[in-house]
Amino acid sequence: MIGEVERKLLDWLCPCHPEDDQQSIQELRALDTGTWILKHETYKMWITNPGSLVWLNGESELSPIKAALTS
């Protein structure tokens, strides 16, 4: 838990609040959004190999979709 001084400093440094964006994105998601990725072979390989990385790429207009998937 951070104090009031720390919160004011963080607000000054970055007036954005990612947790607000995450909440609004989660509210927009449809039921079962992104469940297809759980069946994808690349995901299965990544989840079973601790420390490995997975890269989600796509067109820039898909950024809101990627945000919903990762939210």
Q: 10 pLDDT band (50/70/90 cuts)?
A: confident
Residue 54 neighbours by CB under 8 Å, 6+ apart: 42, 43, 46
Q: What is the mean pLDDT of residues 56-71?
A: 63
pTM of the prediction?
0.43
Question: 3-state class of 9 per DSSP?
Answer: helix
Tell me phi and psi for residue 20, to 5 degrees: -70, -45
pLDDT digits (tens, 9 = 90+) for 37-63: 889 999 999 999 999 998 877 665 556
Name the residue ranges covered by the structural domains of the chain: 4-70
Among residues 39, 37, 41, 71, the alpha carbon closest in space to that of 56 is found at 37
Residue position matching structure tokens 């990385």: 53
Higher pLDDT residue, 20 or 51?
51
Inter-residue contact 66 to 56 (CB < 8 Å): yes
Higher pLDDT residue, 5 or 70?
5
